[in-house]
Amino acid sequence: MKPSLTDETVNKIRPIKWLMLAGLIFVLPLLSAAGYVNETWGAPFCAICPSRIMTTLLTGSTDQLYVDTASSSLMVLSVIGDFLFGLMIAIGLTVRQPFCRICPMLALHAIFRKVGLLRLVKNSTPRCEKCGLCANACPMDIREIHTEMEKKDITFQDCTLCGRCVEFCPDDKVMQFRYLGFPIFSSSAKYFKKRKQAQTQWEAISLANLNTKINKK
């Protein structure tokens, strides 16, 4: 497993979620409430969020995939929403969690996590400098998980607390999730070996099935 974006690209993308938080969650709704802009702009993020379309499509409904022509503002927002949905689907073929990287909810998550009780902790060892599996497994391409050797709390701003870095770490108790200071999920060499064996078996089965289908054709 390799990072889906370069470090330079990741660094350029990171500020976008904060700009979206400021503009879509605070500025436009406040301007709408004060009467400076149309009330349609009172909840712009809800109108353009690709997840709104995705979640309804997964239920078999296409109700949210439309262009609203009731007003110019609604039409602009619905077109932006449809475009973002299509764009994220296309980018998602090569980039892991594309919209999560710019979503203002991730920014809010980072703010409230400061007072949260769940922490991602790293107990660095000399092996950490040579491995890098944790960062490669991270769907948000947080390279600092691998390079940080001083701080124990590595719950970085872009972290979604998915736990993949802990899952892919091959050393005992190097990576941990801690709640109120107590470990609730720790990296394990034994678990890593079992996971690797299971993945190898799954890949072998998938390849065998693919070869069978090709031979039938």
Q: Give the DSSP letter of residue 151.
A: -
Instruction: Reply yes or no on whether the pLDDT at 141 is more than 90.
Output: yes
Residue 196 binned pLDDT confidence (cut-offs 50, 70, 90): confident
Reduced to 3 states (helix: H, G, I; strand: E, B; else coil), residue 139 is coil
pLDDT at residue 217 tops 90:
no
Q: How far is CA 166 from CA 34, 59, 61, 109, 120, in A?
A: 47, 32, 36, 20, 9
Would you state the pLDDT for residue 114?
87
pLDDT tens-digit map of 87-129:
999 999 999 999 999 999 999 999 998 888 999 999 988 888 7
Q: Side-chain half-sphere of 7: how many Cα atoms within 13 Å?
A: 7
Q: Which pLDDT band holds residue 160 (cuts at 50, 70, 90)?
A: very high
Tokens describing residue 49: 């969020």
Instruction: Give the pLDDT score at 79.
Output: 95
Average pLDDT across the chain, whole number: 90
Please report the pLDDT score of residue 170 as a whole number.
Answer: 92
pTM for the predicted model, two decimal places: 0.83
Task: Please give the average per-residue pLDDT across 79-85, as a whole number.
Answer: 94
Q: Extract the tokens encoding 168.
A: 């892919």
Give the largest CA-CA distance in the chain: 67
- Per-residue confidence (pLDDT) for residue 204, from 0 to 100: 81
Inter-residue contact 181 to 153 (CB < 8 Å): no
Contact 102, 16 (CB under 8 A): yes
**CA gap 133, 138 in Å, rounded:** 9
> What digits encode the pLDDT tens for the residues 198-215?
888 887 887 777 667 676
> Domain map of the chain by residue range?
7-106, 116-193
The tokens for 173 are: 């108790």
DSSP reduced 3-state for 121: strand
